[in-house]
Amino acid sequence: MWNAMRTHLHRLARRLRTDRGMTTSEYAMGTIAACAFAAVLYKIVTSETVSGALESVIGKALNAQF
């Protein structure tokens, strides 16, 4: 009886000690990476080439014949 209970408690303690999820430093690195990606994407979307292409697509859509 005691051995079974001890084994069960050891398994429970081992399960509780596992490191799951992100720690604070991993959240910080993920946030920095997301911000860097957003900055690069912003630069691409606001560039003259992409801006001109978007304006062209929107202009063609608005002037479409039905």
How far is the CA of 24 from the CAs of 29, 30, 37, in angstroms? 9, 10, 20
What's the average model confidence in pLDDT over 1-13? 80
| Domain residue limits, the chain | 23-66
For the stretch 9-43, pLDDT in tens is: 888 777 776 666 667 888 899 999 999 999 999 99
Q: Compute the distance between CA of residue 34 and CA of residue 28 in angstroms, rounded to an integer.
A: 10
Which pair of structure tokens corresponds to residue 29? Answer: 């690195």
Q: Compute the distance between CA of residue 46 and CA of residue 55 in angstroms, rounded to an integer.
A: 12
For the stretch 52-63, pLDDT in tens is: 998 999 998 998
Q: Which residue has the higher pLDDT, 56 or 66?
A: 56
Which pLDDT score, from 0 to 100, does residue 41 have?
93
Which pLDDT score, from 0 to 100, does residue 21 have?
65
| 21-45: b (≥16 Cβ within 10 Å) or e | eeeeeeeeeeeeeeeeeeeeeeeee
